[in-house]
A = this chain, B = another copy of it.
Amino acid sequence: MKLTDMNEVGFFEGTEKLLEIWFENDFDGNDSDLRNIPRRELDGLLEIVNAEIVSTTRNEHIDSYVLSESSMFISKDRFIIKTCGITKLLNAVQPIIKLAKHYGRMNKVHNFFYSRRIYLRPDEQVGVHKSFRDEVKYLNKIIPDGSAYVLGQQESEQWYLFTMDNASKGIEKDDVTLEILMSDLDEEAMTHFSKMKYETSEEVVMNTGISRIIPGALNDGILFDPIGYSLNGLHKESYYTIHVTPQPMCSYVSFETNIRKKNYSQLVNRVLSVFKPGSFIITLFSNKNAPCGIATQALERVCATGYECDDQHHKLLKNYSLSYAHFVKKV
């Protein structure tokens, strides 16, 4: 296929649904580990969601999976799954809880986060995913002590969260999640994420500047045919993941990591210099033990060169602080 215009590929909903569940163990013994869930069960789980595993790698802390639609990271007590398109991610919640109990010997949900940006085309979503209200109604039945939050003023830039944080005793170790959700990306920068330009993910990593974002990471990426790109990276206990939808009509790039840093300015600017968005949202979760301190102040210290922040929202949860900021290119 030869593309003269990347828009020929058509519309794709790059916006991901993100589920992060922390488990704990009331059973006797020390053999509890979510990574004991067998591969055939993970394949079955993803079938329910409408995604499949396309590549996998691991280190001693995390099993990493690149999916046909985004990513999955499994560690001892944390299950992360992120899917884009019109996948039905919430159908996986109850099966994950069952698998965690049966194979992982983790019988208790310790913390729960479901979040997403507003979709570009909500009407094309399936079932409860058409509206956040319905997603919350569905989740309330499974996680009765959850709370829903809407952050961001402008409707087209809103970000939704459902969490049980207010009801639980929190995660003791330091924990951070940083997301950069980028829109209206530079068309020239997007041409890199295409089979017309490169053969392999390694070429993409080396030629775009992705290799400099978190140096020394163990990378596992897929360059889709004809366009589109997904990458998972592992670095000790940290993961990062990048997903690129390059079509100008719906261009979208997400970056997510749990890497602990005192100051995220340099990391954010390295990401922006690769993808060159017209606008983006940053969301930052941090708990009290995180090296960056509370999210409000951590985000305050982020200076995104060439951009200005036109909307910020900070929310103090029981054990976490949460910050949302929307940036636009300076004119």
Contact surface of A with B, Cβ cutoff 8 Å = 149-151, 153, 296, 300, 308-316
Contacts and interface: CB of A to CB of B under 8 A. Distances in A.
A296 B314 contact: no
A150 B153 CA distance: 6
Contact of A313 (B153, B300, B316): B153
Nearest to A309: B316
Nearest to A328: B316
B316 A311 contact: yes
A316 B314 CA distance: 15
Given A308-B316, A309-B314, 17 more contacts: A149-B153, A150-B153, A151-B153, A153-B313, A296-B312, A309-B316, A310-B315, A310-B316, A311-B313, A311-B314, A311-B315, A311-B316, A312-B312, A312-B313, A312-B314, A312-B315, A313-B314
> Which 8 A-B pairs rank lowest in CB-CB distance, beginning with the nearest?
A312-B314, A310-B316, A313-B313, A311-B315, A149-B153, A153-B315, A150-B153, A151-B153
- How many copies of this kind of chain does the complex include? 2
15 contacts: A149-B153, A150-B153, A151-B153, A153-B313, A153-B315, A296-B312, A300-B300, A308-B316, A311-B313, A311-B314, A312-B312, A312-B313, A312-B315, A313-B313, A313-B314
Contacts of A310: 315-316
A309 B322 CA distance: 12
A228 B253 CA distance: 55
A232 B138 CA distance: 50
Contacts of A316: 308-311
A31 to B, nearest CB: 40
Contacts of A296: 312
A310 B312 CA distance: 14
Contacts of A311: 313-316
A296 B149 CA distance: 21
Nearest to A311: B315
Residue of A149, A151, A312 with most chain B CB atoms under a 10 A cut-off: A312
A118 to B, nearest CB: 14
Contacts of A313: 153, 311-314
A312 B153 CA distance: 12
A37 to B, nearest CB: 35
